[in-house]
Amino acid sequence: MSDPTRLPDLASRALGGAVLAANDESFAAKENLVLPHPPQALPGFGHRGKEYDGWETRRRRSPGSDWAIVRLGVPGIVAAVVVDTAHCTGNHPARASLEGASVEGHPTVAELERADWRPLVPLSDLAGDSAHTFPVDSTRRITHVRLTIAPDGGVARLRVHGTAVPDPRLVDAGPFDLAALENGGRVTGVSDEFYGRPVQLVSPGLARSMGEGWETRRRRGEGNDWVELALACEGVVTLAELDTSWFLGNAPGSASLTGSGPDGEVVVLPRTRLQPDTRHRFVLDGGPAVDRVRLDVLPDGGMARLRLWGRPTAAGREALGRRWFDALPDVQALEVLQSAGVAPAEAGRLVGARPLGTGLPPALARLVLGREDRTVQEAGGRR
């Protein structure tokens, strides 16, 4: 691509990027670095001094440089970096550099400090109130970047443009979210919903603020908080996503998932450490099928989204299809059948005979069951 800045900003908050740590943010918060909107000129003064829509450190009186670590919302190969000092004039850094690292799992800040950081942008001169674009020549997939400014000062935005490179272990797990509200998942019980409704856990899209997730009050006694869900259908969960985005000082310390299904109660995800402000994804071994799941957060706190990716069982897929077709208005049901090639007279009979029984014609079986009806196969295609 001739202009690499037209590639997605892999660090953007809109894609789940987050500033995990900075050595100093005395004048303006580090989180502003990855906000998706352009930096604004803010009027007036606040408790920290002049208000800035960016990250700003104190005046350094000792040797060294200031830094911030950013987790990319989407890991990938970086093609260009933009260091934007918009509205920073007498307080911009003299120079800046950027390093990248690729780390498995959901590391702590201490673990990231020990990562294998490799240079992406060498130490380069900066000017005030300017968007500096630096091309990057790299073929490596990275998950985190570290911005270093020398010696101190303010940066409004950091853009990390590149090409997403998904983890095939996550892709192979399956594309169906068994918990999603839009797929039929629903909340059936909750221990506490003082600050945020649990239905937001299974709502579409990424949360845009802490207010778009589920959050409990501060627990002062024994026990822990929980949410119970009925899944869209019976299925095997192969990838669990526990998203604590936006929850910084109030994320749970750990969480677990317990399911119930034909084989009784099963552990979907054992108690697992969580990080604040992180989109956690756990590949599972595809255990027994479940149709209900309980999320336990320990001891309390907030979560933005819960996704349970996997595949329906044959029984679950059939229940999903039958529920869908039996609930269609007559006219729409006829249109669906006719578009599948069912003759008008046969379509009228099937629609009028709902709820559906067994022995479905092949075209309807593929729609409703996701496969040929075994009754049809055993009868040699006859009803």
The pLDDT tens digits for 174-208 are 789 999 999 999 999 999 999 999 999 999 999 99
Q: How far is CA 59 from CA 25, 91, 92, 93, 96, in A?
A: 11, 9, 11, 10, 16
Question: How do residues 85-100 score in pLDDT, each as one tens digit?
Answer: 999 999 999 999 999 9
**What number of CA atoms fall less than 13 Å from residue 39's CA on the CB side?**
27
Q: Which residue has the tokens 């044959």?
A: 314
- Given CA atoms 55, 58, 59, 60 in this order, what sign does their dihedral have? negative
pLDDT at 339: 85
Q: Specify the higher pLDDT residue, 379 or 62.
A: 62
Two tokens at 328? 């269609």
Ranking 48-52, 89-93, 208-212 by mean pLDDT, the lowest is: 48-52
pLDDT at 380: 35
Alpha carbon distance 299, 296 (integer Å)? 8
Question: How do residues 331-382 score in pLDDT, each as one tens digit?
Answer: 888 988 988 888 999 999 999 989 988 888 888 888 888 876 544 333 333 3
> CA-based angle 223:229:232, to the nearest 5?
165
Residue 345 is inside which H or E element, if any?
helix 344-352
pLDDT at 377: 38
What is the CB neighbour count within 10 angstroms for residue 173? 21
Two tokens at 80? 């260009």
3-state DSSP assignment of residue 143: strand
Distance of CA 309 to the CA centre of its chain: 12
Helix axis angle, 330-339 to 344-352, nearest 10°: 140
Two tokens at 244? 């604590």
pLDDT at 375: 45
Task: Give percent above pLDDT 90 in the chain.
Answer: 76
pLDDT at 382: 31
User: Average pLDDT of 125-130?
Assistant: 97
Two tokens at 151? 């010696």
Q: Specify the higher pLDDT residue, 374 or 309.
A: 309
Segments of 278-376 assigned E as strands: 279-283, 290-298, 302-303, 305-312
Q: Residues 6 or more apart from 118 whose CB is under 8 A from it? A: 99, 100, 101, 140
Alpha carbon distance 350, 357 (integer Å)? 9
Question: How do residues 218-265 score in pLDDT, each as one tens digit?
Answer: 999 999 999 999 999 999 999 999 999 999 999 999 999 999 999 999
Average per-residue pLDDT for the chain: 91
Domains of the chain as residue ranges with CATH: 4-164 (2.60.120.260), 169-312 (2.60.120.260), 315-369 (no CATH)
Residue 69 is inside which H or E element, if any?
strand 66-84
Q: Is a pLDDT exceeding 80 seen at residue 47? A: no
